[in-house]
């Protein structure tokens, strides 16, 4: 049955559909990568020539990786002026954390817990990309992730479904705005549907086998939040979910997404994922893969080229109903209408706008603001930070300190190589101190690039001595260590999460000489920094912060911005604890029985607790929580409880705190996590100031999905915790009854 996708455009879409041949319809479901220098001559023979021919015949509905107004205009011109029906292309690109002016990587942004800033960052990315001809981004990635070995943790919002859902919503709103047809907004894509973040052992593209409770309560909520935000497209994923590839998964795409959630947008496959159902052992050949994917609800084929090859025959053979094709095409055409592409296919193609918008100062200001808010202060013994602005001898050590490329992170769209402000450059802007730089050791001798593996095999210690000499004469040593910009991201799984290469050795050598070290971490995932956490007095998590990285870090180190970030993922003590996450369930033997008894849930060689928990982050000031109060110790159906807490700034700096509320459902028909984030508020306080914050607990706070995916709210006993991390220690109890 035909459903309305958008009443404003249904009729128009249907009238185009009625003019289309089956082949042209299937063409709309076909997406190609940019395939030749569009402004130059098409190469003879090979794939490119075939694709080019297909574009002319109206057998291409979308292209990706074509960017810049000149290039986009060239392909759009063929689609609009040379094909029979002149249907415009939708142009997609991985605008993940910016187009040319780069924001922090998404995991870093998530550490801000600042939904307005995150939305703003996506707005900037959309505006800059739209001005360059792009009208669709393959973002946000909303995969919940618990395994830092997986390189793509950098691209998501971390381990928590509540925070992840809020951020997913903010990002979609940022990209799409309130008017998709505006020239500075683009369609978003919620990816990867679903459960890609649970790839076994953190190895990318690996099998996913998870239980229903995890699927319904962890994996799906952020996707549902993007539907609430009216996300225009979904991307499915490379993985199998409990034996069924996501791309050929009817349960996910038809029953849940387009059924239960009544989703009106379209689903694009991930790159080649329709064809990958063959090596998965799910389809016997390309033809069957196309059949399975189309029937399961994958509307557009990204680069498998199997729809365009097989779907027409499959329809003729009755294996795929034409109504399935029609449904997919209606969805795709509707989004093109919503973007305004039918009104003006060249609306994103204005060279003057492109010139004026690209890299404009307001974008730099926005990404700088986002970068500062993304930094997490992990340790600050004896108030080593912030640094005095005058009279200090500072040794700056580490290859990453002068690196203008790594801060751009992975997925940098058109961010120019070496275009970030380095830490060295950022610190040089403060000229009251004596600053000297030594790299100490190279992280890698290669130039990391997106597509290739970079070897971390440096054995050259010759720079150690110079670094130690600088450390000896310095009052404070700032060491910038971590991962290069392409060490996380797609295909970048690691089994070790320590500081790569000789960096740990250098850190320990320098420490022998000068213990006054500020360790600035630059990385795309939680790292194992057990030694540093025990020895180094000050640690700043600075991730890959984008174009303005060095300025943001310098402003934090000098106290011009008081760090306010909170970790969106737990940092393990050792890689053997992974996956480690705060919202785990209790075992039947959670506590140490004391003595030498071994039969409880623990490791013999490491604690159960992480190095730094989810939600953790310090400030240059200190905060004290007190007076946790409930206005009632129970509530009934449709009722609620107000929880209040006092927060005082007990230190010497104005600062911002993220006040987090967690609950524990003590017993339920399906066991619940020991803690679940359910709300948070950010508040700025002056030194000495105290404010009362009030939260509401109602059925939304305490309900959950049962193993059939049904939302249930069960009577029972609950605990509520409020504080500055997932280890918040103020707690109270309440009851709920469903009468
Ligand atoms: C594969 C990635 O998994 C996906 O996230 C990305 O959008 C596509 N490639 C297109 O580049």
- End-to-end CA gap in the chain: 40
Judge if the beta carbon of residue 571 lies within 6 A of ligand 1: no
What 8-state DSSP symbol labels residue 529?
-
Residues 544-554 as b or e (16 or more Cβ within 10 Å = b): bbbbbbbbbbb
* CA distance linking residue 131 with residue 389, whole number of Å: 40
Best residue among 32, 129, 234, 302 to mutate for probing ligand 1, ranked by most atoms within 8 Å of CB: 302
Judge if the beta carbon of residue 143 lies within 6 A of ligand 1: no
Look at the block and give the residue holding tokens 């939302």.
711
Structure confidence at residue 51 (pLDDT): 85
CA of 318 to the centre of ligand 1 (A): 32
In degrees and rounded to multiples of 5, residue 712 shows phi and psi of -130, 150
**Of 97, 99, 124, 123, whose CA–CA distance to 111 is shortest?**
97
Judge if the beta carbon of residue 159 lies within 6 A of ligand 1: no
Q: Locate the ligand 1 atom nearest the alpha carbon of residue 92 and give its number.
A: 10
Judge if the beta carbon of residue 175 lies within 6 A of ligand 1: no
What is residue 344's three-state secondary structure?
coil
Strand-pair category, 641-649 with 623-630:
antiparallel
CA 340 to chain centre: 28
Beta bridge partners of 137: 93
Judge if the beta carbon of residue 205 lies within 6 A of ligand 1: no
For residue 89, what are the CA distances in angstroms to 16, 85, 710?
15, 12, 39
Strand-pair category, 233-236 with 189-193:
parallel
Best residue among 271, 300, 414 to mutate for probing ligand 1, ranked by most atoms within 8 Å of CB: 271
Judge if the beta carbon of residue 114 lies within 6 A of ligand 1: no
Q: Locate the ligand 1 atom nearest the alpha carbon of residue 141 and give its number.
A: 5
| Residues with Cβ within 8 Å of residue 512, at least 6 apart in sequence | none
Please tell me the residue having the least CA distance from ligand 1 atom 3: 270
Task: Assess contact for 155 and 142: CB atoms under 8 A.
Answer: no
CA of 270 to the centre of ligand 1 (A): 6
Strand-pair category, 655-665 with 716-723:
antiparallel
Q: Locate the ligand 1 atom nearest the alpha carbon of residue 139 and give its number.
A: 7
Structure confidence at residue 38 (pLDDT): 45
Look at the block and give the residue holding tokens 């029937």.
295
Structure confidence at residue 457 (pLDDT): 86
Residue 90: CB atoms within 10 A of its CB come to 29
CA of 101 to the centre of ligand 1 (A): 20
Judge if the beta carbon of residue 94 lies within 6 A of ligand 1: yes
pTM over 0.95: yes
Task: Assess contact for 412 and 535: CB atoms under 8 A.
Answer: no
> What is the arrangement of strands in the sheet containing 476-482, beginning at the earlier edge strand?
376-380, 538-541, 517-522, 476-482, 393-397, 434-438
* CA distance linking residue 283 with residue 291, whole number of Å: 9
CA of 696 to the centre of ligand 1 (A): 39
669: exposed, middle or buried (Cβ count in 10 Å: 0-12, 13-18, 19+)? exposed
Judge if the beta carbon of residue 614 lies within 6 A of ligand 1: no
**Of 580, 570, 734, 584, whose CA–CA distance to 217 is shortest?**
584
Task: Assess contact for 100 and 124: CB atoms under 8 A.
Answer: no
CA of 120 to the centre of ligand 1 (A): 23
**What structural domains does the chain harbor?**
92-354 (3.20.20.300), 359-577 (3.40.50.1700), 623-737 (2.60.40.10)
| 294 membership: H or E segment, kind and range | helix 286-296
* CA distance linking residue 181 with residue 152, whole number of Å: 31
Examine the residue annotation and report whether 270 is marked as an active-site residue of this protein. yes
CA of 271 to the centre of ligand 1 (A): 6
Cis peptide before 143 (omega within 30 of 0): no
Judge if the beta carbon of residue 138 lies within 6 A of ligand 1: yes
Judge if the beta carbon of residue 270 lies within 6 A of ligand 1: yes
Best residue among 235, 245, 267, 492 to mutate for probing ligand 1, ranked by most atoms within 8 Å of CB: 235
Judge if the beta carbon of residue 271 lies within 6 A of ligand 1: yes
CA of 450 to the centre of ligand 1 (A): 13
Judge if the beta carbon of residue 232 lies within 6 A of ligand 1: no
- Active-site entry in 270, 327, 350, 665: 270
For residue 151, what are the CA distances in angstroms to 209, 220, 251, 483?
19, 21, 27, 11
Please tell me the residue having the least CA distance from ligand 1 atom 7: 138
Structure confidence at residue 52 (pLDDT): 85
Best residue among 138, 268, 301 to mutate for probing ligand 1, ranked by most atoms within 8 Å of CB: 138
- Consecutive 10-residue averages of pLDDT for the chain (739 residues): 90 98 98 67 64 92 95 95 98 98 98 98 98 98 98 98 99 98 98 98 98 98 98 98 98 98 98 97 98 98 96 98 98 98 97 98 98 99 98 98 98 96 98 98 92 90 98 98 97 97 98 98 98 98 98 98 98 98 97 93 97 98 98 96 98 98 98 98 98 98 98 98 98 94
Judge if the beta carbon of residue 303 lies within 6 A of ligand 1: no
Residues 409-432 as b or e (16 or more Cβ within 10 Å = b): bbbbbbbeeebbbbbbbbbbebee
Task: Assess contact for 171 and 140: CB atoms under 8 A.
Answer: yes
């Amino acid at each position: 049955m035909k459903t309305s996708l958008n009443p404003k455009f249904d009729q128009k879409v249907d009238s185009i559909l009625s003019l289309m041949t089956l082949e042209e319809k299937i063409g709309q479901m076909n997406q190609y990568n940019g395939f030749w220098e569009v402004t130059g001559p098409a190469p003879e023979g090979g794939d490119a020539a075939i694709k080019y021919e297909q574009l002319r015949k109206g057998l291409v509905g979308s292209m990706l990786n074509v960017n810049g107004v000149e290039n986009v205009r060239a392909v759009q011109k063929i689609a609009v002026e040379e094909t029979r029906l002149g249907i415009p292309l939708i142009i997609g690109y991985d605008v993940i954390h910016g187009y040319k002016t780069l924001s922090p990587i998404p995991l870093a942004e998530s550490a801000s817990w600042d939904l307005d800033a995150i939305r703003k960052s996506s707005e900037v990315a959309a505006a800059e990309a739209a001005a360059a001809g792009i009208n669709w981004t393959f973002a946000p990635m909303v995969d919940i992730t618990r395994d830092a070995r997986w390189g793509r943790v950098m691209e998501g919002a971390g381990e928590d479904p509540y925070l992840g859902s809020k951020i997913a919503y903010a990002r979609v709103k940022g990209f799409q705005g309130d008017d998709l047809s505006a020239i500075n907004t683009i369609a978003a894509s919620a990816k990867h549907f679903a459960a890609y973040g649970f790839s076994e052992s953190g190895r990318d593209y690996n099998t996913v086998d998870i239980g229903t409770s995890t699927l319904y309560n962890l994996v799906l909520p952020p996707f549902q939040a993007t539907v609430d935000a009216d996300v225009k497209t979904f991307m499915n994923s490379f993985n199998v979910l409990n034996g069924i590839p996501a791309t050929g998964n009817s349960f996910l795409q038809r029953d849940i997404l387009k059924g239960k959630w009544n989703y009106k947008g379209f689903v694009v496959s991930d790159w080649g994922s329709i064809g990958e159902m063959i090596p998965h052992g799910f389809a016997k050949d390309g033809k069957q893969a196309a059949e399975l994917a189309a029937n399961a609800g994958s509307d557009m084929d990204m680069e498998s080229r199997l729809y365009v090859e097989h779907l027409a025959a499959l329809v003729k053979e009755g294996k795929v109903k034409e109504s399935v094709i029609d449904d997919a095409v209606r969805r795709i055409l509707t989004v093109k209408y919503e973007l305004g592409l039918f009104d003006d296919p060249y609306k994103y193609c204005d060279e003057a706008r492109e010139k004026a918008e690209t890299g404009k100062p307001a974008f730099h200001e926005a990404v700088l603001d986002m970068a500062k808010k993304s930094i997490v202060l992990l340790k600050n013994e004896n108030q080593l930070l912030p640094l005095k602005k005058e009279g200090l001898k500072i040794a700056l050590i580490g290859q990453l300190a002068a690196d203008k490329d790594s801060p751009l992170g992975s997925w940098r769209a058109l961010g120019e190589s070496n275009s970030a402000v380095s830490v060295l450059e950022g610190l040089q802007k403060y000229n009251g101190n004596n600053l000297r730089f030594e790299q100490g050791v190279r992280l890698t001798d290669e130039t990391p690039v997106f597509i290739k593996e970079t070897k971390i095999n440096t054995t050259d210690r010759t720079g150690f001595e110079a670094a130690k000499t600088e450390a000896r004469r310095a009052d404070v040593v700032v060491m910038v260590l971590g991962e290069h910009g392409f060490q996380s991201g797609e295909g970048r799984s690691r089994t070790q999460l320590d500081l790569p290469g000789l960096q740990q050795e250098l850190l320990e050598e320098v420490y022998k000489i000068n213990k006054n070290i500020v360790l600035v971490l630059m990385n795309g995932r939680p790292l194992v920094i057990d030694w540093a956490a025990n020895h180094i007095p000050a640690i700043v998590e600075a991730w890959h912060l984008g174009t303005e990285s060095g300025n943001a870090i310098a402003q934090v180190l000098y106290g011009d911005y008081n760090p306010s970030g909170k970790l969106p993922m737990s940092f393990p003590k050792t890689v053997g604890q992974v996956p480690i996450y705060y919202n785990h369930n209790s075992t039947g033997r959670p506590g140490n029985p004391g003595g030498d008894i071994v039969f409880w849930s623990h490791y013999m060689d490491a604690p159960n607790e992480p190095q730094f928990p989810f939600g953790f982050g310090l400030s240059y000031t200190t905060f004290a929580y007190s007076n946790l109060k409930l206005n009632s110790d129970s509530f009934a159906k449709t009722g609620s409880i107000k929880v209040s807490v006092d927060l005082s700034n007990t230190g010497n700096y104005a600062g911002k705190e993220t006040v987090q509320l967690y609950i524990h459902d003590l017993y339920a028909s399906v066991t619940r996590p020991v803690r679940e984030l359910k709300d948070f508020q950010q508040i700025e306080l002056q030194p000495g100031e105290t404010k009362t914050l009030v939260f509401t607990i109602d059925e939304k706070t305490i309900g959950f999905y049962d193993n059939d995916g049904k939302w249930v709210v069960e009577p029972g006993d609950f605990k509520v915790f409020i504080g500055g991390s997932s280890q918040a220690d103020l707690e109270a109890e309440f009851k709920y009854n469903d009468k």
